Amino acid sequence: MFWVAICVQEPSLTELKELALRCARSAGELSLKRMKEPFQVEYKTSASDLVTAVDKEVEKHVIHMILERFPDHGILGEESTFKGDYKQFDTLWVIDPIDGTTNFVHQQINFSVSIAVYHKGEGLVGAVYDPSRDELFYAVKGEGAYLNDRPLHLEKVVTLEEALLCTSVFWNKRAEQMGIDQIVKKLAGKVRGMRLLGSAALEMSYVAAGRLDGYVSMSLNAWDFGAARIIVEEAGGKVTSMVGNPLPFDEKSSVMACNPAFYEELQHYLNLSDNTEKGS
């Protein structure tokens, strides 16, 4: 009897990128189609924390596409429709089927599909697709960031006073309890302006594109920032927790993403301590 050793070859970055982009566009097209039809809206934890049947359908759709091509990969998705234990997989896809569900329900703009690929905790590919505007932000580790195939480079030197920032801190209860919302209110008086779109993945992608100069959040889940983090970094931006620690790939964290020219000044201005790391 002869035994034949079978070598399983890891997929290339190109293969992972092509599937991530295909999944993002397909998911976006499905969300737009379902948006025009009646759909059910449910509450998660409160009236402001929504989930729709479309979120769940889109996530299942993306998972099917991934596992059909790579059945040995794991999935970490917001709607938890993947039945396996994601921690058992070296290669992990981190998915938010609709980031900005409230916008999806009310505005029908300013929402996005977020898909990232991590291998042993290292971010390889990130894709954030805005289907309402047909804008696809994506990046591959070591190969740069793009918006619809246009390279993104954060080369402009921006001071904190010139910066246009985006934040969700004002609506975070823990931030209010710790007084961080007051710090950010003072920050709003120092910078050029503050914005809120309601989709963290899209807001961070706008930082990569130079439409915003910085983004600050007290608490995001891994699927909120997993893809956009890679895009910002590959565009030359700086992404860490609010106290400067590396972001986890599978856990909740505070997030600060910005033009590197004023990163240290912004972090110093916020003047936070380690107990803010996993605000809720």
CB contact set of 57 (below 8 Å; sequence gap of 6+):
30, 34
Strands (E), 221-278: 238-240, 253-258
Q: Which of 99, 181, 213, 233 is catalytic?
A: 99
Core vs surface per residue 184-199: b (16+ CB within 10 A) or e: beebeeebeebeebbb
Please state, in angstroms and rounded to a whole number, the distance separating the CA atoms of residues 51 and 47: 10
Is 15 part of the annotated catalytic residue set?
Answer: no
d(Cα 143, Cα 222) in Å, to the nearest integer? Answer: 23
Per the annotation, the verdict on 213 as an active-site residue is no
Is 96 in the active site? yes
Contact indicator for 92, 250 with CB cutoff of 8 Å: yes
In the set 78, 203, 213, 234, the catalytic residue is: 78
Q: Give me 95's structure tokens.
A: 């998915």
Cα separation of 135 and 68, whole Å? 26
Q: Which is nearest to 23 in space by CA: 110, 115, 100?
A: 115
- Identify the active-site residue in 52, 101, 240, 276: 101
- 233 an active-site residue? no
Catalytic pick among 59, 203, 224, 234: 224
Residue 224 annotated to the active site: yes
Selected catalytic residue, list 55, 59, 96, 130: 96
φ, ψ for residue 268, nearest 5 deg: -65, -40
In degrees rounded to 5, what are phi and psi of residue 41? -115, 130
User: Which one from 66, 75, 98, 115 is the annotated catalytic residue?
Assistant: 98
- Catalytic residue flag (residue 85): no
Residues annotated as catalytic are 78, 96, 98-99, 101, 224
